[in-house]
Chain A
Amino acid sequence: MFEIERRALMKGAALSALTFTAGGAKFLLSPRQARAQNIAFKTLTPEQVETLEAIGETLVPGSKEAGVSHFVDQQLSVPPGEALLEARILNVRPPYANFYRAALGAVDKASKAHNSDRGIAQLKDDERSAFVDLMRHNKIVGWQGPAGPFVYLVLRSDAVDVVYGTMEGYAALGIPYMPHIAPLKRW
């Protein structure tokens, strides 16, 4: 009685890869594939991408290659009602781009202020870790932007999503994914 018809199931599956645009054409890709294909960013600036990838990689190793910046960028380009970002369920008010601009700007400014004008991408691994640790404890003097612990939570969640929340991520950990309706392209 309530079995899903195959046609309906395929409709659901088709919704589950992200739409990226390149050369005027639209492609269904995972963020990892979008990064590998060097798909242009729509919303984030090159500086914001650099900051997001650096802090993402510090928070969750593997997130840069898994396409955290393409994931966030693509998500900021869709209406809030279609967004998949954890910010959505953490009560961030749309448009979500406002939060990311403020958060990434705060990270960049604070890093430069405390590290001889070097952004987080220019810091050594141990310096990045120390910076993130201070940020999550809200102990960065002169921090300007959304609260440091909240920025930590949101960006860590994005990075966790692309590394551990995908079918690939489950497979890498050895956890059976067991979907009812599988996301397309293991994303």
Chain B
Amino acid sequence: MANEKTDVVIVGAGASGTLYASVLAKAGKKVVLLESGPDWQLSDLISSDFWGRRVKPAGIPFLLEGKNPYGYAYQAGWGVGGAALHYFANFPRYMPNDFKVKSEHSRGLDWPISYADIAPYYDKVAAEIGVSGDAKAEEIWRPKGEPYPMPPMKTFRNGDVWKKGCEAIGIRMVPAAVGMNSTEFKGRPACIYDGWCHVGCPIGALANPQVTYLADARKAGAEVRALSTVTRVLTNQAGNKVTGVEYYDAKKEKQVQEARVVVLAAWSAQNPRLMMISATDKHPKGLANSSGLLGKYMMAHYASGTWALFDDDVENHMGTVGAQYMSYDRYDKTSKKDAFGSTFIVAGTALKTSDLGGFANARLDLFGPKLTDFMKRAKRGITRLTAFGEEMPNVENRIELTDGKDEFGMPLAKIVHSFDQDAVALWNANFQEGLTIAKETGAKEFWSARGNQPTIHLFGGTIMGAGAGDSIANSYGQTHEIGNLWIAGPGLFPTEGASNPTFTIFAVSQRGAEQLVSEWSAIAG
């Protein structure tokens, strides 16, 4: 069934898709957002670890391969709001050294833009959706910018003990920048520090899209079609323009939505899958893929966690799931010997009992009466420090179509991912430093949260670059080969830095969306 032609169809109603929808709808464009999952409301966000799993994917069409298979389901989104419906809302920014890794170290890739190009958009996003933090304090590591619109969040003893430990070995900690309200902001209430951020904040104190960009987009007239799975991007006969998308609606009926511009904001793995599935005789390797780099350079963060157990109460039930403190003191790419890449350190988080991040998993080796005893000892005295590490882009980490099919008969894809020696070495070095810090906290016991090397966040697959020979899109997200096909999200990032990516996703998307509006006639005409 064909629908009335629209100005823009956006595939995916997560962080970047809703931002695009907001900017474009407010500019007067007719916007349709297609989202494969449900239309979650704030009242769906029950404060419970297991009820919170409903807002995460259940069997999305990816197979997982490689030495370090990508663990998507815990951190991916399903439904409006995407992963940003249940994210931790840590809002650190990338540093100037993240944008020029190849130029400065002959490793990895360069972004086609610098920190200075993105910086104004960090400030713009912060003013728009609300960020709490201390910008002045951060300026020991980065160029000066605008102050955040809200002061830092409250801290609790579960974070303060780590600040003491870090400072004892010369690591400076400053208040973490978070997309949460330390005070009332634009009619949204201040946070009450109950630590249920990760299952969705229903009061609007945390900047999830339901209360920010999606709300704005709807107010400006954007239409959201939930439970609508896009299966193909459609192109004209010449192959130089997209004409819309094909999708299956909530009743599993096939639909076509024609549009002047298509924005793919479906997730770093799903965007290249869709572009590969949409191959034509003009684009035999997938849309906008003359470089052969579509689906390549997939990257993930990894974390080295350290647990510390105190005899006394560290108020570990209080706070947010985001960080209270952060440090870029190990962010230089060569800060660790024989382990190239940045490290970003955060501390202070409210803990729950169950789920992957719950403290029942702090000693995964324990079961039976020993677990019972541990839970009693840890209930008020345990706290965690986390060091995120950076992986360099590797062309072998990739998305590929497989012979399998999804429920709509479209090819499944696989994510192939392995960490290189640097990533493993940095992961290990950060565990070692975590123990050194923990020793200085005065904790009764401390240990590394070792297990399989985790994969956190997902980047690449549709990287930005100078031209069609070395990348898929330009720095705004416009594909090099099809001017009205745009990509949004961390799939554009040529390198991943080490800090949480959402603030940068928003900033890059804001820059792209504004460019699309300003050049609308040339792009959509």
Select the stretch in B274-282, B303-311, B349-357 that faces chain A: B349-357
B203 in contact with A2 (CB, 8 Å): yes
Interface residues on A, range: 35 or more
B73 in contact with A91 (CB, 8 Å): yes
B380 in contact with A180 (CB, 8 Å): no
B211 in contact with A2 (CB, 8 Å): yes
Select the stretch in A7-15, A19-27, A35-43, A105-113 that faces chain B: A7-15
Select the stretch in A44-52, A114-122, A154-162 that faces chain B: A154-162
Known: A2-B42, A169-B353. A91 touches B72 (CB 8 A): yes
A89 within 8 A of B: yes
Docked CA distance A174–B50 (Å): 20
A141 within 8 A of B: no
A83 in contact with B317 (CB, 8 Å): no
Q: Sorted from nearest, which 9 A-B pairs have the closest CB atoms?
A: A165-B354, A179-B47, A2-B204, A8-B43, A1-B187, A178-B194, A80-B58, A164-B353, A12-B43
12 A-B pairs in the complex with CB atoms less than 8 angstroms apart = A2-B211, A8-B42, A11-B43, A15-B44, A58-B367, A60-B367, A81-B78, A91-B64, A136-B365, A164-B353, A164-B358, A181-B45
Contacts of B172 on A, CB cut-off 8 Å?
none
Docked CA distance A62–B375 (Å): 13
Closest to B204 in A: A2
Docked CA distance A85–B355 (Å): 10
A179 in contact with B196 (CB, 8 Å): yes
Contacts of B251 on A, CB cut-off 8 Å?
none
Docked CA distance A161–B354 (Å): 6
* Least CB distance, A42 to chain B, in whole angstroms: 19
Docked CA distance A59–B372 (Å): 10
Docked CA distance A80–B58 (Å): 6
B354 in contact with A183 (CB, 8 Å): no
A182 in contact with B47 (CB, 8 Å): yes
Contacts of A81 on B, CB cut-off 8 Å?
38, 54, 58, 78
B408 within 8 A of A: no
B384 within 8 A of A: no
B45 in contact with A12 (CB, 8 Å): yes
A181 in contact with B43 (CB, 8 Å): yes
Interface size on B, residues (CB 8 A): 55
* Least CB distance, B290 to chain A, in whole angstroms: 33
* Least CB distance, A182 to chain B, in whole angstroms: 7
Docked CA distance A170–B350 (Å): 14
Known: A83-B53, A84-B50, A178-B195. A59 touches B367 (CB 8 A): yes
Closest to B64 in A: A91
What is A's interface to B at a CB cutoff of 8 Å?
Answer: 1-5, 8-9, 11-13, 15-16, 58-62, 80-86, 88-91, 93-94, 129, 132, 136, 152-153, 156-157, 160-161, 164-165, 169-170, 173-183
Known: A2-B42, A61-B368, A179-B196. A88 touches B56 (CB 8 A): yes
B429 within 8 A of A: no
Contacts of B58 on A, CB cut-off 8 Å?
80-81, 83, 88, 94
What is B's interface to A at a CB cutoff of 8 Å?
Answer: 38, 41-51, 53-54, 56, 58-59, 64, 69, 71-74, 78, 187-189, 192, 194-196, 201-204, 211, 317, 352-356, 358, 360, 364-365, 367-369, 371-372, 375-376, 379-380
A180 in contact with B201 (CB, 8 Å): yes
B48 in contact with A16 (CB, 8 Å): yes
B360 in contact with A84 (CB, 8 Å): no
* Least CB distance, B380 to chain A, in whole angstroms: 7
Closest to B379 in A: A173
Closest to B49 in A: A165
Number of A-B contacts (CB under 8 A): 164
B47 in contact with A180 (CB, 8 Å): yes
A164 in contact with B354 (CB, 8 Å): yes
- A15-B44, A181-B46 known; 7 new pairs, CB 8 Å cut-off, are A2-B188, A8-B42, A15-B46, A81-B38, A157-B355, A180-B203, A182-B47
Docked CA distance A61–B360 (Å): 13
Docked CA distance A106–B142 (Å): 55
A16 in contact with B194 (CB, 8 Å): no
A160 in contact with B360 (CB, 8 Å): yes
Docked CA distance A16–B74 (Å): 20
Closest to A183 in B: B48
A180 in contact with B50 (CB, 8 Å): no
Contacts of B196 on A, CB cut-off 8 Å?
178-180
Docked CA distance A22–B69 (Å): 42
B203 in contact with A93 (CB, 8 Å): no
* Least CB distance, B449 to chain A, in whole angstroms: 14
Contacts of A12 on B, CB cut-off 8 Å?
43-46, 202
B379 in contact with A175 (CB, 8 Å): yes
B59 in contact with A165 (CB, 8 Å): no
Contacts of B38 on A, CB cut-off 8 Å?
81
Docked CA distance A160–B38 (Å): 28
Contacts of A152 on B, CB cut-off 8 Å?
367
Out of A90, A153, A176, A181, which one reaches B73, CB within 8 Å?
A90
Docked CA distance A9–B58 (Å): 25
Contacts of A5 on B, CB cut-off 8 Å?
43
B43 in contact with A9 (CB, 8 Å): yes
Known: A2-B42, A61-B372. A86 touches B50 (CB 8 A): yes
Docked CA distance A180–B200 (Å): 10
B194 in contact with A180 (CB, 8 Å): yes
* Least CB distance, B459 to chain A, in whole angstroms: 19
Contacts of B354 on A, CB cut-off 8 Å?
157, 160-161, 164-165
* Least CB distance, B316 to chain A, in whole angstroms: 9
B48 in contact with A82 (CB, 8 Å): no
Docked CA distance A174–B377 (Å): 11
B53 in contact with A89 (CB, 8 Å): yes
